[in-house]
Amino acid sequence: MVNTIQDKYDIAISYLAEDEELAFAIYTELGEVLNIFIYTQHQEELAGKNGVEPLRNIFINKTNLIVILYRNGWGNTGWTSTEEKAIIDFGLKNKWEGILLINLDLTKIPNWFPESEIYIDFQKYSFEELIGIIKLRAQERGGEVKTITAVDRAKILEIKREYENEKKKILESEEGLKRASAEANDLFEEIDRICIEITSESSVRFEYKRQKEFLYQLIGYKQDEKLGSLGFQVNILWHQKYSNSLNNSKLILSKIDLGRIVYRNDPIIMEDLLFDFDLSHTMQNMWKNNHNNKQISTQKLADDIVKMIIDFKSS
């Protein structure tokens, strides 16, 4: 069920693909009482109209409040770059009122965002508190909370149902198996690309190698004044348990303490992080962290993995 574009929205949300789960959660939580625009629910209609100008028009002229789910990389993709330019125009037009920036990962906020404006640190609020803040700001901007009708609730439930059914259909099919293994391969290639870029453009050195088809390994060493040479290893394994099902298949990220190299200490597994292959609400390939159920893109996960080695060497 794809919604038609409306004349005016109470809220328009801008976000990266990896934060689509959060954007959709906000949409389904508040969509019954406020008119909310998220790209997921209008992508077919926008794509059919060479979506850049209609999208700009929504963010500049057709919303009372803009909510930015902000993290490192926002503004650097095709759609968020378009939205960022439109949001700046909206800010100039409305004297910078009506923009709520939610900082998801403590990244430095963009230079154009006024210092006088307050932004929200996502880490300090629960989801319920975040919903309350957005709802209050929307009301301050003229949004009228509507009475929840049976039709409103049915629309939201239908959106959820269609998404869950489509996702289940893919994940339980041969297509799902192929997509998962291909995405694991893309992850290893992205790790490789990042490592090559770092070691070719800086003096930072560490070992990185694809050991098997679905096993990648990174090893870093550093010198400690008291303990001597220390080692740290990260293994990334795509474990597909069955040949015809994704059940119990996991991406396993193991952080291993190699101890003091000169004494040949036994390796100690510090932590195993588990990820499921998953799909976003636009059916894009994602990984879901088993610890917090948050989705993450392959590009972001690859970057986080390499950072583990860099952080070890710099600590």
What is the Cα–Cα distance from 41 to 85, expressed in whole angstroms?
Answer: 21
What is the pLDDT confidence band of residue 51, given thresholds at 50, 70 and 90? Answer: low
Cβ contact 60:52 at 8 Å: no
**From the CB of residue 213, how many other CB atoms can be counted at a distance below 10 Å?**
10
What is the Cα–Cα distance from 279 to 276, expressed in whole angstroms?
Answer: 10
What domains are defined for the chain?
Answer: 9-170 (3.40.50.11530), 174-314 (no CATH)
Q: Which sign does the torsion angle of CA 312, 263, 205, 182 carry? A: negative
What is the pLDDT confidence band of residue 190, given thresholds at 50, 70 and 90? Answer: very high
48 has a pLDDT exceeding 60: no
What is the Cα–Cα distance from 296 to 259, expressed in whole angstroms?
Answer: 30
- Whole-model pTM: value is 0.68
**Which ranges constitute the DSSP H helices of the chain?**
20-30, 43-47, 52-61, 78-93, 127-140, 150-171, 174-201, 298-314
User: 3-class secondary structure for 144-202?
Assistant: CCCCCCHHHHHHHHHHHHHHHHHHHHHHCCHHHHHHHHHHHHHHHHHHHHHHHHHHHHC
DSSP 8-state class, residue 18: G
Cβ contact 241:248 at 8 Å: yes
pLDDT tens digits, one per residue of 198-219: 999 999 999 999 999 999 999 9
Identify the residue whose tokens are 């929205």. 9
pLDDT tens digits, one per residue of 10-43: 999 999 988 888 898 898 889 888 989 998 777 7
The phi and psi torsions of 80 (rounded to 5 degrees) equal: -70, -25
Cβ contact 88:73 at 8 Å: no
**From the CB of residue 128, how many other CB atoms can be counted at a distance below 10 Å?**
8
